[in-house]
């Protein structure tokens, strides 16, 4: 993204139109988009909530969420802290709902689960299906959107685009842009698209046309429902709208490195990368309500839907790279994924996994070794 800087105060020719920007975002390949002027009305409330969440230790080992400016302020608390020039944010939504079964649908005892978003793939020039990383896919679309905006502007402006990697809280900006509300499971829920969607943000130094009416904030429609809270097997949703990430299966299987607390292992079930449970039980993601996303760059890989634990466990380091290079699954790391597989094996009740678990119980990696020993005890007698 570009880094040019110009003062556009009072230059209405350079102001962004919500409807026009949304149209350009859809042309770039996004499912939906919204525009919000910065600072937005709920900025102080959102900053205070984020600061309290981090202060309570809920970020666990995700220390990047705790990064601060030179004067000690949390970078992600307010957009203006890392980006004082930002006057608007385009927030884009890319749906990844698919017709494949949910994680809550009964499956074979020897099957694991990889989070829906990580199934993504595309066909290469020879027609072969290859892993695709949504970060790269959506970053290209943000670049195309930025270029389209630049082509319509009379002068230079500053812009930065992020897909889960920048010092911004995407969900907060998405609600301010009218794309939905934050549900009790802490996910953004779009009233027509549900919560199976990626968020991408383009910050710009351009103002928003004051004569245009921005999208109204979506009302909270969770009501009295608490299916997500009741369904979370590790009790990560400590209260409505409050998550302790250190207990979240997605955090444990992806972000957390090393040993996992034994009291959490049974609740992790068959999840080997990420978790969809709190979204799968959400009525707003019902197949009757949420449209299937048709995105050629984010199509599901069949082998990653209810993957066989035996297949995953047989991958060596090189095969792991071949299968997941360019895939979000690579973030867990080779030993991290095997640690998660060991826990899923222990929860499977399948004694046939004992031989591989015995090998892993002597592994150099402490996280894998501890998980394998726990799984063996869980499967005894075998």
DSSP per residue, 250-293: HIIIII--S---HHHHGGGTTEEE---HHHHT-GGG-TTTSPPP
CA distance 317 to 153: 49
CA 243 to chain centre: 14
CA distance 251 to 267: 13
Reading phi first (left if > 0) and then psi (alpha if -120 to 50, else beta), residue 223 is in: left
- Active-site residue flag, 220: no
Q: What CA–CA distances, in Å, run from 118 to 242, 276, 321?
A: 24, 11, 15
The two tokens of residue 265 are 């292992």
Strand (E) or helix (H) holding 88: strand 88-95
Q: Looking at 164, 220, 244, 365, which residue is catalytic?
A: 164
Sign of CA dihedral 62, 66, 69, 75: positive
Active site residues: 164
């Amino acid at each position: 993204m570009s880094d040019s800087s110009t003062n556009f105060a009072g230059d209405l020719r350079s102001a962004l139109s919500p409807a026009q920007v949304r149209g350009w975002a859809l042309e770039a390949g996004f499912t939906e988009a919204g525009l919000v002027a910065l600072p937005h009305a709920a900025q102080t409330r959102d900053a205070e909530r984020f600061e309290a969440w981090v202060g309570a230790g809920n970020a666990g080992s995700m220390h990047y969420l705790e990064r601060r400016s030179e004067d000690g302020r949390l970078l992600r608390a307010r957009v203006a802290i890392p980006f004082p020039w930002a006057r608007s944010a385009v927030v884009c939504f890319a749906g990844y709902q698919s017709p494949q079964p949910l994680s809550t649908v009964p499956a074979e005892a020897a099957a694991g689960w990889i989070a829906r978003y990580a199934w993504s793939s595309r066909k290469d020039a020879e027609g072969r299906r290859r892993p695709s990383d949504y970060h790269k896919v959506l970053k290209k679309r943000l670049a195309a959107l930025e270029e389209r905006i630049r082509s319509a502007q009379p002068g230079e402006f500053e812009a930065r685009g992020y897909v889960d990697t920048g010092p911004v809280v995407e969900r907060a900006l998405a609600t301010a842009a009218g794309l939905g509300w934050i549900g009790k499971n802490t996910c953004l829920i779009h009233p027509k698209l549900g919560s199976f969607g990626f968020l991408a943000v383009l910050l710009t130094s351009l103002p928003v046309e004051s004569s245009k009416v921005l999208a109204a904030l979506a009302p909270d429609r969770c009501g009295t429902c608490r299916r997500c809270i009741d369904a979370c097997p590790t009790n990560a949703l400590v209260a409505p709208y409050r998550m302790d990430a250190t207990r979240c299966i997605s955090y444990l299987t992806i972000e957390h490195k090393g040993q996992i607390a034994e009291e959490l292992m049974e609740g992790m079930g068959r999840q080997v990368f990420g978790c969809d449970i709190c979204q799968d039980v959400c009525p707003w993601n019902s197949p009757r309500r949420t449209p299937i996303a048709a995105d050629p760059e984010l199509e599901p890989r069949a082998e990653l839907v209810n993957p066989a634990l035996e297949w995953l466990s047989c991958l060596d380091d090189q095969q792991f790279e071949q299968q997941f290079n360019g895939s979000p699954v690579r973030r867990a790391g080779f030993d991290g994924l095997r640690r998660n597989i060991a826990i899923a094996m222990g929860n499977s009740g399948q004694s046939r996994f004992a031989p591989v678990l015995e090998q892993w119980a002597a592994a150099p990696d402490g996280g894998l070794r501890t998980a394998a020993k726990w799984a063996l005890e869980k499967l005894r007698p075998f």
